[in-house]
Amino acid sequence: MCGRSRATSQSSSVLKTGAVAIDRPKAGTMENGSKDASDPAAFLGEITGAPVTVKLNSGVVYKGELQSVDGYMNIALEQTKEHVNGRVKRNYGDAFIRGNNGGSSLFVGLSSVS
């Protein structure tokens, strides 16, 4: 499922992604310099299986392999490391992060956050 390339997700059109797709007012609005518009649902499809960093509002960071995300932004991670104040606190084989934990952002690429 992670094999979907950027090119195909672009050609399959952002509106095909279902429930969270927005109603785009004009067809031409995407042409203002963007090469690949990707709404959150398309983006999640692209990064499933990739190593990600999940940062909660509390500042706690979870790093692991993204297994799945649902409409509530509940997140399932594999081989998860819990970082508190930059230090690894715990390890989990499988972790489920409940969506309303104020999960502020999901970062792709493990190296980008210390």
Minimum CB separation of residue 38 from other proteins in Å reads: 5
Query: Residue 15 interacts with other proteins (CB under 8 A)?
Result: no
Which residues, numbered 40-69, are part of the site for other proteins (CB under 8 A)?
Answer: 40-44, 57
Query: Residue 5 interacts with other proteins (CB under 8 A)?
Result: no
Select from 77-85, 86-94, 104-112 the region that touches other proteins (CB under 8 A).
104-112
Query: Residue 29 interacts with other proteins (CB under 8 A)?
Result: yes
DSSP letter string, 56-106: ETTS-EEEEEEEEE-TT--EEEEEEEEEETTEEEEEEEEEEE-TTTTEEEE
Which of 1/22 has CB closer to other proteins? 22
